[in-house]
Amino acid sequence: MGSEPTTLLQGTLDLLILKSLVAAEMHGLGISRRIQLITGGTFVVKPGSLFPALHRMEEEGWISSYWGDSENNRRAKFYRLTKPGRKQLEAETKRWGRISLAIAQALQAS
């Protein structure tokens, strides 16, 4: 997990958070670990980036939060995907597909 994780593309973090919440409702640390897992350790999200993103997305209405108990019975704030959040995920996924395709083409061309 070298220096790469720090340079997350704008919008990528949102996409990863939304994606990781599809599987289950999770607290902040869970989301962070989930992203680490599904990206094969490429992205490590620090609390300083994670919490502002979560709060922003909650204000956008893409996710909602509630207080619950963690796996080892600690009080923790859990986040879950809302309906607009699922739509946003679809839109973001499509957009990302287009972007990655375009970038890949561009790189092959040269």
Partner 1 sequence: MPLFTKAGSFLRNIFFPNHGEADLNHEVQSHLQLLTDENIRAGMPAKEAHRAACIELGGAEQVKEQVREIQIGNWLRSVLSDFRYGFRQLRKNPGFTAVAVLTLALGIAVNATMFSLVSAFMLRHPPGRDPKRVAVVTSINPGNGFLPEANPVSIPNFLAWREANQVSADIAAADQYRSVHLTPVSQSTAGQPQAIRSAAVSPNYFSVLGVSPEFGRTFNDQEIQPGRDRVVILSHELWERQFASDASLIGRAIRLNRENYTVIGVMPSSFHLTGFTPQLWTPLEVTTQTANARKDRSLLLFARLKPGVTIEQARAEFSALARRAEQDFPEIEKGWGAAVRTFPDFLLYNFGIRNGLAVVMTTVAFVLLIACANVAGLLLARAAGRRKELAIRLALGAGGLRIIRQLLTENLLIAFLGGALGLLLAYWGIAFVRANMNFNEAMSAVPLSLDSNVLLFALAASTLCALLCGLAPALNASRTDVNNNLKEEGRSSSSSHSHSRLRTTMVTCQIALALFLLVGTGLLFRGIFMIEHQNLGFRADHLLTANVVLDAARYKDSIQQSLFVRNLLPQLTQLPGVEAVAATSDLPAAGPGAVTFRIQGQSEVPANQQLTASDNVVSSDFFPTAGIPLLRGRAFTEQDTALTPRVIVVNQEFVNRHFHDQNPLGKQIQLNVSGTASQWSEIVGVVGNVKTYSEGIIDDPQVYEPFLQRPISSFSLMLRTGSEPSALASPLRTAVAQLDAELPLGNVMSMSALIDRQKGGNPFFVRVLASFAFLALILAGIGIYGLIAYSVGQRTHEIAIRMALGAKRPDVLRMILRDGMKMTAIGAAVGLALALPLPKVFDAIFYGLHLREPRLYFLVPVTILIVALLATYIPARRASRVDPMSALHQD
| Amino acid letter, residue 90 | E
Tell the smallest beta-carbon distance from residue 40 to partner 1 (Å). 20
Who's near 32: CB < 8 A, 6+ residues apart?
44, 45, 47, 50
Q: Which stretch binds partner 1 (CB under 8 A): 6-14, 16-24, 46-54, 91-99?
A: 46-54
Which two tokens mark 94?
A: 């499509």
Q: Which of 22, 23, 29, 102 binds partner 1 (CB under 8 A)?
A: 29
11 contributes a contact to partner 1 by CB under 8 A: no
- Measure Cα distances from 2 to 27, 39, 45, 85, 88 in Å: 25, 14, 13, 31, 30
Helix (H, G, I), strand (E, B) or coil at 96: helix
Q: Which stretch binds partner 1 (CB under 8 A): 2-10, 11-19, 67-75, 89-97?
A: 67-75
Residue number, 38 or 53, with CB nearest to partner 1: 53
Residues near partner 1, by CB under 8 A: 27-29, 46-48, 51-53, 55-56, 58-61, 67, 70, 72, 74-77, 84
